[in-house]
Structure 1
Amino acid sequence: MGHNSLYGPLDPAPEAGYTDAPPRMGFFTDTSVCIGCKACEVACKEWNLVPDDGFDLLGTSYDNTGGLTANSWRHVAFIEQPAVDVLATAAEPQFLGMPGSDLPGRTTDAPRSDFRWLMMSNVCKHCTHAGCLDVCPTGSLFRTEFGTVVVQEDICNGCGYCIPACPYGVIDRREGDGRAWKCTMCYDRIGDGLTPACAQACPTQSIQYGELSELRDRAQQRVDQLGEQGVAGARLYGHDPGDGVGGNGAFFLLLDEPEVYGLPPDPVVPSRDLPAMWKRAGLAGLAMAAAVAVSFLGGRS
């Protein structure tokens, strides 16, 4: 089983029955270098033939997708953050705007400092302990030899059990189709030794693909580098195998709290207590049967 001295066991593939599984593969998304170009969204749609989901700007943002859906397997979030929220925790002055941006009406070339954009390309987390796998009644959802989680659309019956089982709100059913859809980490590409379409298209290497243990080491080095540069708030999210999902196959470097990006601070797999619940239900059933038997025998005497 693949492992890392800092993070412990990483690979769920052997537990899924793969005796000679390759190293677990994953995504590391470094939001500090995301420029919001949405090349990842376009590449994902083109390669996976994901339908167009419209171009509604939502009235409040440059973001035209709004979140992960059955028709958006990658979603680039645009978060405009006032300077007061940033500077309150900064150790020293920081650049808060986008390159070349400025206040309306000004002619100076100086970058504006009243806000900053936080951008993040969100995606399915390919959890180590995946609730969607636990509840799927048809086997449509399965664990691959790379440790990723994939939906087989030709087996999915559209029951929707996987949707509330995902702690990140990733899986969605397609309107007019009824079946569940989500990121496959381009299972067809990585099986041929290729890079997933989103990571291949990313111009800044914000999305990095590779062996998960190596990505985690690389991510920690990046956090340390940003700390040395005085960037406040840099942290990793979804990398810890001790969290409620056992660590993610897709994790992130964030520049603020997870909630700012719409991510749960303490994700928990809803189905994690199923074994204990079934055990308790079984014991309760046995106790009830024993009570009925004793009552029946006592009544006959």
Structure 2
Amino acid sequence: MPDPNSLYGPLDPASDAGYVDAPQRMGFFTDTSVCIGCKACEVACKEWNDVPGSGLDLLGMSYDNTGALTANSWRHVAFVEQPRPAGHGSAAVAAQPEFLGMPGARPPGRDSGVEGRSDFRWLMMSDVCKHCTHAACLDVCPTGSLFRTEFGTVVVQEDICNGCGYCISACPYGVIDQRRGDGRAWKCTLCYDRLGAGMTPACAQACPTESIQYGPLEELRERAAARVATLHGRGVPEARLYGHDPDDGVGGDGAFFLLLDEPEVYGLPPDPVVTTRDLPAMWKRAGIAALAMAAATVAAFVGRSS
């Protein structure tokens, strides 16, 4: 896989976008091991951003009533029900009441919570736009509706969006969506208006277990690495980070996750790659071809004239 840094320049999106003396890059760290599936983040996001209340019908899939990230669901709490991995019985769970950092708490995603059942578990994850370091949606937007903020996040200006849909197909995570009856693209803004006022994004503010953590991205990465080490020490070897690596196919995400299983289980691509990574080479080849065609045309014209 090509090094994104060699293709797109320094891994400092705000500075790369032209901001001088930009503040620290801000982002989300979502720790799924402490998510209780309360959906407070979904509600807070809708209320603060005035997102329409559609997408709140039971879908017949566990307790997941929104289904996916859409134009009307900028945060989506996924519920994944699966057989419990070997070696993770109820006795092992009961022996770790400090798992969440709260006395007597039982780790969600590790116990069904159904009396007499210990053969399955729920994995819960609050998904959101990843605010990629190298965002393909920015590359393809023809109107400038999508822009990089001084905090390194990616925001859609709906009053400029023409509804072309290029950003939707360009997103490697399938995050961006068009609103029915509207046609324009909508997604998480990481509460850009709140960030400018020094406030915490609504979803993180509302999260009762601090599953969604907001702050300077570098600090969050350090905190996440320490959390994974703690879980490994407590006998949870499947704990892993997703989207935290600056050397991955999108240059690292501004919103990354601690997962308790493979990314595909949560509906995430295992190896996301910025979909416009080949554009520089394509433009170069197109330019060379255009020059060659122009030279051939001139040569043919000169030949006929003589």
Q: TM-score, normalised by structure 1?
A: 0.89
Residue 268 of structure 1 and its aligned partner are, at CA, apart by 1.0
Q: Is the 8 A contact 1:97 1:113 kept in 2?
A: no
CA-to-partner distance for each residue in 1:129-168, whole Å, 9 max, x for gaps? Answer: 0011111111111000000000111111111111001000
The answer to whether residue 165 in structure 2 is matched with residue 160 in structure 1 is: yes
Letter in 2 for 1:199: A
- Could you tell me how far apart the structure 2 residues matched to 1:16 and 1:97 are? 42
Residue 295 of structure 1 and its aligned partner are, at CA, apart by 3.4
> What does residue 59 of structure 1 align with?
60
Letter in 1 for 2:68: G
Residue 93 of structure 1 and its aligned partner are, at CA, apart by 7.5
> What does residue 80 of structure 1 align with?
81
| Matching residue within 192, 201, 204 for 2:206 | 201
The answer to whether residue 255 in structure 2 is matched with residue 216 in structure 1 is: no
| Matching residue within 182, 189, 201 for 1:184 | 189
CA-to-partner distance for each residue in 1:252-282, whole Å, 9 max, x for gaps? Answer: 0001110000000111111121111111000
CA-to-partner distance for each residue in 1:185-242, whole Å, 9 max, x for gaps? Answer: 0001111110000000000000000000000000000000000001021110000111
Where in structure 2 are the equivalents of 1:1-301 lying within 5 Å?
11-83=12-84, 86-87=85-86, 94-95=92-93, 97-98=110-111, 100-103=113-116, 112-301=117-306
RMSD of equivalent CA atoms? 1.9
Q: Is the 8 A contact 1:234 1:254 kept in 2?
A: yes
- Could you tell me how far apart the structure 1 residues matched to 2:253 and 2:40 are? 23
Residue 94 of structure 1 and its aligned partner are, at CA, apart by 4.6
Residue 91 of structure 1 and its aligned partner are, at CA, apart by 12
- Could you tell me how far apart the structure 1 residues matched to 2:110 and 2:134 are? 38
What SS is found at the alignment partner of 1:271? coil
More deviation in 275-284 or 214-223? Answer: 275-284
- Could you tell me how far apart the structure 2 residues matched to 1:181 and 1:146 are? 19
Q: Give the percent of matched residue pairs that are identical in Structure 1 and Structure 2.
A: 78
For structure 1, list consecutive stretches of 5 or more residues without a partner in the other structure: 1-8, 104-111
Letter in 1 for 2:263: P
Letter in 2 for 1:146: F
What SS is found at the alignment partner of 1:120? strand
Q: Is the 8 A contact 2:112 2:122 kept in 1?
A: no
Residue 99 of structure 1 and its aligned partner are, at CA, apart by 6.6
Residue 293 of structure 1 and its aligned partner are, at CA, apart by 2.8
Q: Is the 8 A contact 1:238 1:247 kept in 2?
A: yes
Q: Is the 8 A contact 1:91 1:232 kept in 2?
A: no
Q: Is the 8 A contact 1:87 1:93 kept in 2?
A: no
Q: Is the 8 A contact 2:110 2:123 kept in 1?
A: no
Q: Is the 8 A contact 2:132 2:250 kept in 1?
A: yes
More deviation in 93-102 or 215-224? Answer: 93-102
- Could you tell me how far apart the structure 1 residues matched to 2:212 and 2:275 are? 28
Q: Structure 1 residues 267 and 97 mapped into 2: Cα distance closer, same or farther (>3 Å)? A: closer
Q: Is the 8 A contact 1:31 1:119 kept in 2?
A: yes
What SS is found at the alignment partner of 1:285? helix
Letter in 1 for 2:171: C
Letter in 1 for 2:75: R
What SS is found at the alignment partner of 2:215? strand
- Could you tell me how far apart the structure 2 residues matched to 1:300 and 1:118 are? 75
Q: Is the 8 A contact 1:68 1:123 kept in 2?
A: yes
Q: TM-score, normalised by structure 2?
A: 0.88
CA-to-partner distance for each residue in 1:72-121, whole Å, 9 max, x for gaps? Answer: 000000000112xx228x79985375374224xxxxxxxx3200110000
- Could you tell me how far apart the structure 2 residues matched to 1:140 and 1:12 are? 17
- Could you tell me how far apart the structure 2 residues matched to 1:93 and 1:139 are? 55
Q: Structure 1 residues 37 and 214 mapped into 2: Cα distance closer, same or farther (>3 Å)? A: same
Q: Is the 8 A contact 1:127 1:247 kept in 2?
A: yes
Letter in 2 for 1:28: F
> What does residue 109 of structure 1 align with?
none
- Could you tell me how far apart the structure 2 residues matched to 1:11 and 1:281 are? 29
- The aligned length equals 282
Letter in 1 for 2:30: T
Letter in 2 for 1:101: V
- Could you tell me how far apart the structure 1 residues matched to 2:113 and 2:15 are? 50
- Could you tell me how far apart the structure 2 residues matched to 1:93 and 1:131 are? 46
> What does residue 5 of structure 2 align with?
none
What SS is found at the alignment partner of 1:126? coil
